Amino acid sequence: MTQDVNIHAHDAILHISLNRPKALHALTQDMCEAMSDALLRVREDEKLHAVILDHAEGRGFCAGGDVAMVRKSALEDDGKAGRAFFHAEYRLNHLMFTYGTPIVAFMDGVTMGGGVGISQPCEFRVATENTMFAMPEGNIGLFPDVGASWYLPRLPGATGKFLALTAARLDGAECLWAGLATHYLKSEDTAEAKARIAAGEDPSAVLTDMSATPPPARIAENSDKIDLLFGPDTVEGIIEALENSDTEWAEKELKAVRAKCPTTSKVALRQFTENANCETFAENMVMEYRVASRMMLRHDFAEGVRAVLIDKDNDPAWDPAKPEDVHEALIEGIFAEDPAGGEWKPFPQLS
């Protein structure tokens, strides 16, 4: 059992608390497996009232996954360890998505990448004034995964495409507006909310009773522009729409889109199309695992992690460097069946 997750079962509550503060609780394979084991152990327990998911200390809820390890694996063992991590992480995501007992995620801090993957499947998703939500995979040449193919297309208007292509950071009020959070609480009130749920009160009633009025959601002011300018179905079309919009907002978002890995952006939009053909979340995770197995081996991922996390020069050299140079054959290959190491499968008891 890893020390990076605190797991307590008391009365009718399972409490899972991420405990890797120096890494903003970024997920490792051991953490994913420990969480899955704990959830599976009590899955059939009729006395189980709720699962509480939070973090032990620090400003992160969960900042993502162990991308440095995945990069090392891609460079040294042809991605074997990286695939094992993604397989375990996606199994956890699917287990949470299909879990029968309510899970309450307290997104009281940085919630990015892998943190999105373990919060969005939860029936209750609590945002606070500390919440900082983003899917920043375009910055490192990966792709919006951990179920993002399922969640992002279901957000209002073109919000999902906007988040995927810009890596925009949303605060707690914006998460509530977009439907990424179900409730908004003051951070100082979350301890009481957890205590009341742990004492046996209904999570929905507790969270409704303790909800605070959030500040205005800034993204709401730009929702019309987002729907219009991020409405096109291609990256090139979105860039053209932004170029033709004579506003400071469009100029800022154009810069954000252009800075992202072009292949990531193309893959992200293809995910929207592919998800429409997925009848279940498990099918969606099969699709994402195929993409992960290939994207992590590409030059862009190693280069992106280098630029953002290792050398920190924030100047990655993408290849291809422009969206128009990312050909359809490349995208088809990334989404093809039968990746190295085989297809993703859910836990046998969930099949």
pLDDT in tens, 89-111: 999 999 999 999 999 999 999 99
pLDDT (mean) for 154-164: 98
Q: With pLDDT > 70 as the criterion, what percentage of the chain qualifies?
A: 100
Catalytic hit among 109, 114, 147, 160 = 114
Task: Look at residue 115 in the predicted model and tell me its pLDDT.
Answer: 98
Task: Look at residue 1 in the predicted model and tell me its pLDDT.
Answer: 61
> Any catalytic annotation for residue 304?
no
Q: How confident is the model at residue 2 (pLDDT cuts 50, 70, 90)?
A: confident
Q: For residue range 187-196, list pLDDT tens digits in order.
A: 999 999 999 9
Work out the mean pLDDT of the chain and round it to a whole number: 97
Q: For residue range 332-343, list pLDDT tens digits in order.
A: 999 999 999 999
Catalytic hit among 60, 64, 65, 141 = 65
pLDDT (mean) for 32-59: 95
> Any catalytic annotation for residue 145?
yes
Q: How confident is the model at residue 271 (pLDDT cuts 50, 70, 90)?
A: very high
Domains present along the chain, CATH in parentheses: 5-340 (3.90.226.10)
> Any catalytic annotation for residue 137?
yes
Catalytic hit among 4, 145, 288, 303 = 145
Q: How confident is the model at residue 11 (pLDDT cuts 50, 70, 90)?
A: confident
Q: CA-to-CA distance for 10 and 13, rounded, in angstroms?
A: 5
How many helices and strands (H and E) does the chain possess? 17, 10
Q: CA-to-CA distance for 343 and 351, rounded, in angstroms?
A: 14
Q: For residue range 221-264, list pLDDT tens digits in order.
A: 999 999 999 999 999 999 999 999 989 999 999 999 999 999 99
Catalytic hit among 54, 108, 137, 288 = 137
Whether residue 320 is preceded by a cis peptide bond, meaning omega within 30 degrees of 0, is yes
Q: What is the DSSP string of 57-91?
A: SSSEEE--B-HHHHHHHHHHSTTHHHHHHHHHHHH
Task: Look at residue 58 in the predicted model and tell me its pLDDT.
Answer: 84
Alpha carbon of residue 85 to chain centroid: 15
First to last CA, the chain: 25
Q: How confident is the model at residue 309 (pLDDT cuts 50, 70, 90)?
A: very high
Task: Look at residue 145 in the predicted model and tell me its pLDDT.
Answer: 98
